[in-house]
Structure 1
Amino acid sequence: MSTARANPLNSMAAHVALITYTLIALFPVFVILINSFKTRKAIFRDPLALPDGDTFTMIGYQTVMKQGDFFLYFQNSMIVTVATLFFVLLFGAMAAFALAEYRFKGNLLMGLYLALGIMIPIRIGTVAILEMMVSTGLVNSLWALILVYTAQGLPLAVFILSEFMRQVSEDLKNAGRIDGLSEYTIFFRLVLPLVRPAMATVAVFNMIPIWNDLWFPLILAPAEETKTLTLGSQVFIGQFVTDWNAVLSALSLAILPVMILYVIFSRQLIRGITSGAVK
C-alpha cells in the first residue's frame, strides 16, 4: 500500500523536475530568439530586454534569406539527422538484442569493445576517416556524414538498449517462440515496443550533437550543395566582422526543427521516467 501511495508523489516530483530543467534549458533559446529581432546596438546594450518599437528589426532574417541557400542547408541537416537516428536506433537495437539475448563466445568482449566507443571520441580518427571517404568517393556527400554519425552513435545506443533489453520478460519471448514466431518477429513486435523509452533516450542523446556539429561537415562535406545548417551559418561569421543579426536569426531558425524532434522523442522519455522503463 505504501508503494502505491508513493507512486503519484514520485510522478509529480518527476514532472516538476522535468519542467524546471526544461525552463532552465530554454532560457538561452529565449535570449537568442528575442535578440534575433533587435538591432545590433540593442543586442549589446541590453541583451535581456524584449524588442520594442525602437529596437525591433527583421534585417537578420532578411540577410539569412538573401545570402546562401538556407532551405538547402536546412534540408541537408534534416536528412542527415533523421537518417542517422534511424540507422542508430535500428542497428543499435538489433546489436543490443543479440548481446542481451544470446550467449556466445566473446559476448562479453564484444560488449566491452562497443563500450570503448563511448570513451574514445571519433574525432581522433578524423584523418583516417577522411582518407576512407576519399577512397570510397563519398567526400562532399550526405552519406559520408550519415555513416560517420551512425558509427559515432552506435556504442552508446548498444550500451543503453542492451541493459533495457535484459529486463524484458523471458516468459514473454519464450511464449512467442512457442507460438511459432520468428526471432525477427519477436524483436520487432514484442521487444521493441517495450524499450521505446530507452530508444527515445538514445535518440535525444544523439540528435543534438548531430544537428549542431560543425567539425565533420567542414571536413567531409564542405561543398555548397552538401552544407549543413550549422556550416552554412558560418558565412555570417568573419575574421574581423560578424553579422550578429544574421547569426542569431539563423540560430533561431535552426532551433525550431530540433525542438520539434526533441518534443517527439521526449514524450517517450518522460513516460519512461514517470511510469517505469520496462515492465
Structure 2
Amino acid sequence: MKAARRSSERAGNLVVHALLIVFAVLAIAPILLIVVNSFKTTPAIFEHPFALPTADTFSAAGYERVFQRGHFVDNYRNSLVVTVGSTVATLVLATLAAFALTEYKVRFAPLVGGFFVAGIMLPIRLGTVPILKTMISWGLMDTLTALVLVYTAMSLPLAVALLMTYFRSVPHDLKEAARIDGAGELRTLSIVLPIVRPGLAAVASVTMLPIWNDLWFPLILAPSQENQTVTLGVQQFVGQFLNDYPALLGALTLGAVPLVVLFVVFSRQFIQGLSQGLGK
C-alpha cells in the first residue's frame, strides 16, 4: 500500500511540474521572442523569426533609432520618480494608518477600516473625471506630482488592509513593555516595524508593479513629452514606428525589461508577504 501511495504521489508531482513547465514556457517564450528579434534586421525577422541572431542577421540599429528618436532616458527617469515616490508615500501612510487602526480602540476604527476595504473593491478609474477636475483646480495637471498623489491614493486601501493583519500579530506585551520603559508611540512603532518587515516588502512589491505598468493616468494627467512615463513613451513610439520592426521590438523590450527585473527581485517578498498576511 505504501509503495502504491508513493508511486501515485510521484506521478501526481510529475504531472504538476510538467504543467508548471508548460505554463512557464508559454509565459516566457513571447518575451524571449521579442528580445531575440529586436537584435535582428527586418528581413531576418520575417525569414527566421524563431532563430537566434547570427553574424549576418545581428543588428542593434533598432535600439539606436529608439534612443535617437525616442525619449527613453527621460521616460525612465519619470517612471522611477513616480514609482519610488508613490511607493514611499504609500508605505509611510499605510504603516501609520494600519498601526493606529489596530492599536487604538476607538469607535470609528472599524468604520475607517471598512472604508479601506471598500476602496480595494472600487477601481480608482471610476473617479477619473473628479480626479481630473481636482488636479486642474490644484494646478497640478501635466506634473509628476499628480501621478504620485493618484497612485498613492490608489495603493493605500490594499496596503492598509494587508499591514493591519501583520500589526494584529505583534505581541501586545512587546508594545506594553516599550511604553512602560518610556517609549513614545513613534518609538513603539519603530520597535514593531522589524516584526512586520515581510508585510512592508509585500506592500512595496504590490505597489510598484502596477504603477510602473500603468498607462491610463499618465495618458490623462501627464501626457507631455517631458513628463511621459516608460509605458506611455512606448505606446506613442509604437504608434509612430509601426513599420520599423527592429525599433518597434526594441522599444517593447525596453518597456518590458524593468517589469521583469522588478518581478524577479521582489517575487519572493511578494509571495511570502501575501501568504503570511493571509494566513494571520
Q: Which amino acid is the alignment partner of residue 149 of structure 1?
A: Y
Larger radius of gyration between Structure 1 and Structure 2? 2
Aligned twin of 1:241: 242
Deviation at 1:200, TM superposition (A): 1.4
Residue 164 (structure 2) pairs with residue 162 (structure 1): yes
Match of 2:138 in 1: 136
User: How many aligned residue pairs are there?
Assistant: 261
| CA positional deviation for 1:268 | 3.8
- Any gaps of 5 or more consecutive residues in structure 2? 1-12
Structure 1 stretches lacking a partner, 5+ long: 1-12
- TM-score (structure 2 length as normaliser): 0.82
Asked if 2 retains the 8 angstrom alpha-carbon contact of 1:196 and 1:268, the reply is no
Contact kept? 1:42, 1:55, Cα under 8 Å = yes
Match of 1:172 in 2: 174
Relative to 1, partners in 2 of residues 1:118 and 1:41: Cα closer, same or farther, differing over 3 Å?
farther
CA distance in 1, matches of 2:216, 2:98: 29
Q: Which residue in 1 is equivalent to 2:119?
A: 117
Q: Is the 8 A contact 2:202 2:273 kept in 1?
A: no
2:202 counterpart of 1:198: no
The CA deviation at 1:148 is 0.4
Deviation of 1:43 (Å):
3.7
Secondary structure of the equivalent of 2:239? coil
Alpha-carbon distance between aligned partners in 2 of 1:92 and 1:47, rounded to the nearest angstrom: 47
1:209 counterpart = 2:224: no
C-alpha spacing 1:85/1:242, structure 2 compared with 1 (3 Å): farther
Q: 1:81 to 1:27 in 2, by over 3 A?
A: farther
Residue 34 of structure 2 corresponds to 32
Judged with a 3 Å threshold, the aligned counterparts in structure 2 of structure 1 residues 109 and 43 are, in CA distance, closer, same or farther, namely farther
> What code does the residue aligned with 1:177 have?
R
**TM-score, length of structure 1 as denominator length:** 0.83
Shift of 1:69: 2.0
Q: 1:229 Cα shift?
A: 1.0
Aligned-pair CA distance for 1:120: 0.7
- Relative to structure 1, the CA distance from residue 163 to residue 21 in structure 2 (aligned partners, 3 Å threshold; closer, same or farther) is farther
Q: Distance in 1 between matches of 2:150 and 2:104?
A: 28
Q: CA deviation at 1:260?
A: 4.2
Q: Which residue is equivalent to 1:92?
A: 94
Cα 1:27–1:144 shift into 2, 3 Å: same
- Structure 1 position 28, deviation (Å): 4.1
Give the direction of change, closer, same or farther, for the CA distance of 1:21–1:131 in structure 2 (3 Å limit).
farther
2:229 and 2:44 mapped to 1: Cα distance? 29
- Counterpart contact for 1:217–1:231, Cα < 8 Å: yes
Q: Distance in 2 between matches of 1:238 and 1:254?
A: 14
| RMSD of aligned residue pairs (Cα, Å) | 2.8
Q: Is the 8 A contact 2:119 2:157 kept in 1?
A: yes
Structure 1 residues 242 and 137, CA gap change in structure 2 (3 angstroms)? farther
CA distances 1:70-129 after superposition (whole Å, capped 9, x unpaired): 211110000000111101111111111111111111111111111111111100111111
Report the counterpart of residue 151 of structure 1 in structure 2: 153
Match of residue 6 from structure 1? none
- Residue number among 126, 129, 139 corresponding to 1:127 in the alignment: 129
Amino acid at match of 1:102: Y
Checking the alignment, whether the CA contact within 8 Å between 1:236 and 1:242 is kept in structure 2 is no
* 2:137 partner amino acid: S
Q: Which amino acid aligns with 2:142?
A: N
Give the whole-Å Cα distance in 1 for the aligned partners of 2:258 and 2:149: 22
2:242–2:248: 8 Å Cα contact kept in structure 1?
A: no
> Where do 1:219-234 residues align within 5 Å?
219-234=220-235
Equivalent position amino acid for 2:208 in 1: M
Q: Distance in 2 between matches of 1:109 and 1:47?
A: 57
Q: Percent identity?
A: 49
